[in-house]
């Protein structure tokens, strides 16, 4: 009877030792997972914050695009209402001066934007 009891105690001791070691491994894994999860939560939060900023910038760009499209529609309407070829042949001096002035304004604006962009990195 005592041999059976010693055998049971020995088996339970080995089982307890095995379970203790397995428990220690699981504690280490759990700690590693908690660290990983915290890092992932931080990364997700950073991505969400960048997404909010991107959405605001996109909304701003969309509103600017709508303004530009409205301006374009207005200018195209002006061209539709006037026959520039006929007007240019009737009054060439008037159209030439205005066209040259507007073209110069556009080129100056493009040059200013290009200069501003090239000095951003400096």
pLDDT tens, residue by residue, 23-76: 999 999 999 999 999 999 999 999 999 999 999 999 999 999 999 999 999 988
Q: Is the pLDDT of residue 88 over 90?
A: no
Kindly state whether residues 94 and 69 are assigned to the same domain. no
Residue 43 tokens read as 């990364």
What average pLDDT does the segment 92-118 reach? 85
Whole-number percent of the chain with pLDDT over 90: 53
The pLDDT, as a whole number, for residue 5 is 87
The pLDDT, as a whole number, for residue 50 is 94
Kindly state whether residues 55 and 87 are assigned to the same domain. no
Kindly state whether residues 6 and 41 are assigned to the same domain. yes
Whole-number percent of the chain with pLDDT over 70: 98
Q: Give the integer Cα–Cα distance in Å for 90 and 83.
A: 11
Kindly state whether residues 7 and 55 are assigned to the same domain. yes
Kindly state whether residues 41 and 59 are assigned to the same domain. yes
The pLDDT, as a whole number, for residue 122 is 59
Q: Give the integer Cα–Cα distance in Å for 119 and 43.
A: 33
Residue 50 tokens read as 């960048």
Kindly state whether residues 38 and 58 are assigned to the same domain. yes
- Which residues make Cβ contacts (< 8 Å) with residue 88, sequence separation at least 6? 95, 96
Q: Which helix (H) or strand (E) holds 83?
A: none
Q: How many CB atoms sit inside 10 A of residue 44's CB?
A: 10
The pLDDT, as a whole number, for residue 93 is 79
Kindly state whether residues 94 and 71 are assigned to the same domain. no
The pLDDT, as a whole number, for residue 7 is 87
Q: What is the mean pLDDT of the chain?
A: 88
Q: Is the pLDDT of residue 84 over 90?
A: no
Kindly state whether residues 5 and 46 are assigned to the same domain. yes
Q: 78: burial class by Cβ within 10 Å (0-12, 13-18, 19+)?
A: exposed
59: domain range? Answer: 1-81
Q: Are 89 and 96 in contact (CB under 8 A)?
A: no
Domain count across the chain: 2
């Amino acid at each position: 009877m005592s041999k059976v009891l010693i055998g049971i105690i020995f088996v339970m001791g080995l089982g307890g030792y095995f379970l203790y070691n397995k428990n220690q491994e699981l504690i280490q894994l759990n700690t590693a997972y908690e660290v990983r999860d915290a890092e992932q939560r931080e990364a997700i939060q950073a991505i969400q914050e960048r997404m909010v900023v991107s959405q605001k910038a996109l909304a701003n760009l969309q509103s600017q695009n709508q303004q530009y499209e409205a301006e374009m529609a207005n200018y195209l309407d002006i061209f539709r209402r006037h026959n520039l070829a006929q007007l240019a042949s009737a009054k060439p001096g008037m159209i030439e001066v205005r066209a040259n002035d507007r073209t110069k304004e556009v080129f100056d604006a493009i040059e200013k934007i290009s200069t501003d962009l090239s000095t951003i990195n400096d």
